[in-house]
Structure 1
Amino acid sequence: MRAPRTSPSGVERRFGDDELIVTKTDSRGVITYANDVFLRVSALTEAEAVGQPHNLIRHPAMPRAIFDLLWETLRGGQEIFAYVVNLAADGAHYWVLAHVTPSVDATGRLLGYHSSRRAPAPAAVAAVRRLYDDLLAAEAGHARPADALAASRALLTERLAGQTYDEFVWSLIPAGDAA
């Protein structure tokens, strides 16, 4: 049973600094497990979440470039840390610092993905929001999704100025939170 898509309400939802949102998906990105924090924050029931594509919670304010980079990294067999704004089923949004990693069996065959998310520092969200707004503006100038993605990726590369996205993410994490 898929929860109906909703429009963003502008209401921001937060979760505790001591809480972790955890989901697991299969190799196609379909949710196979969601913890109680995910269900509460996303305003979904377990029946609405499990069996659905993880992009069920994709917020329209997430730049294509970031998801493209995320999937490029995961397809390369590597983990990624990323700042993501998600859309709850009731229209609220919530920011996370996501750690997504491929899950493999003993032979190295991809089984799926594991994602743990924690609450990001407000200063990090402010910095990321500025970058993401600029990336979205670059995308908005193009009717074709492929052109929008190319413009967004080019601007991301320019804004990172020789730094990787991973280095950018880690530069925003307060020293005491790096554990």
Structure 2
Amino acid sequence: MAKQGVSPTNREVFFEHDEIIVSKTDPTGRITYANDIFLKISGYTEDETLGQPHSFIRHPNMPRCVFKLLWDAIQAKGEIFAYVKNMTKTGDHYWVLAHVTASLDGNNSILGYHSNRRRPKPSNVALVSDLYQKLKAAEDRPTNRKDGLSESYERLMHVLKDKGVSYDEFVLTL
């Protein structure tokens, strides 16, 4: 809905170090809550945000394999820390260090998901950005999106194996 016709500007915007972006989604990833910081940095109103798939703010340069890791973790009722590049309503971008978890009911069934996002250190963004560019290039090489996702995911797993860490460990040790 809101992103149609918006092109990336290559202009980065920032939120304050003491601000936390918070959002909640239903089990399908549609936004049910977005705090004022989310709305301020993204440039969208609450009416434009609620009910949208959370991916509507995803920057087109983000490798999908990171979201595969994220969804695998949270659908298994785990948690994940991830660096994510998002796009605002105007095409600007902002980086976050996201902590995403499943929200469970008394029967341990998933009610939805909860994400807190902080402003990452620029040095960490530089390291992650370089890796993400390589993953995105691997993803875009095949003409088939499924093959591209598989290729970038395998490349990411290889990088993590070489470092001897999980993705969370990689993120938290930067």
TM over 0.5: yes
Deviations 1:54-99 (A, max 9, x none): 1110111110110111101111110100000001111010000000
1:73 matched residue in structure 2: 73
Question: Offset at 1:3?
Answer: 2.0
- For normalisation by structure 1, the TM-score amounts to 0.93
SS of 1:44 mapped into structure 2: coil
Q: Which residue of 1 aligns with 2:96?
A: 96
- Residue of structure 1 in register with 2:172 after alignment: 170
- The equivalent residue for 1:3 is 2
The Cα RMSD (Å) is: 0.9
Give the letter for the 2:21 counterpart: I
Name the count of aligned residue pairs. 171
Contact 2:23–2:32, Cα closer than 8 Å, also in 1: yes
Q: Which amino acid aligns with 2:56?
A: L
The code of the aligned residue for 2:105 comes to D
How far residue 10 of structure 1 moved from its aligned partner, in angstroms, is 0.8
Q: Which runs of 5+ in 1 are unaligned?
A: 173-179
The one-letter code sitting in structure 2 at the alignment partner of 1:165 is: Y
User: 1:4 and 1:59, CA in 2 relative to 1: closer, same or farther beyond 3 A?
Assistant: closer
Paired AA for residue 84 in structure 1: V
Aligned to 1:121: 121
Distance 1:157 1:110 in 2: 27
Gaps of 5+ in 2: none
Cα distance between partner residues in 1 of 2:46 and 2:88: 14
Specify the alignment match of 1:22 in structure 2. 22
Q: In structure 2, how many angstroms separate the alpha carbons of the residues matched to 1:71 and 1:60?
A: 18
Secondary structure at the aligned position of 1:85 is classed as: strand
3-state SS in 2 of match to 1:28: coil
Q: Is the 8 A contact 2:3 2:56 kept in 1?
A: no
TM-score (ref. length: structure 2): 0.96
**CA offsets 1:129-179 (integer angstroms, 9 cap, x no match):** 01001101111211101110111011101111131101100111xxxxxxx
SS of 1:61's partner is coil
Shift of 1:23: 0.4
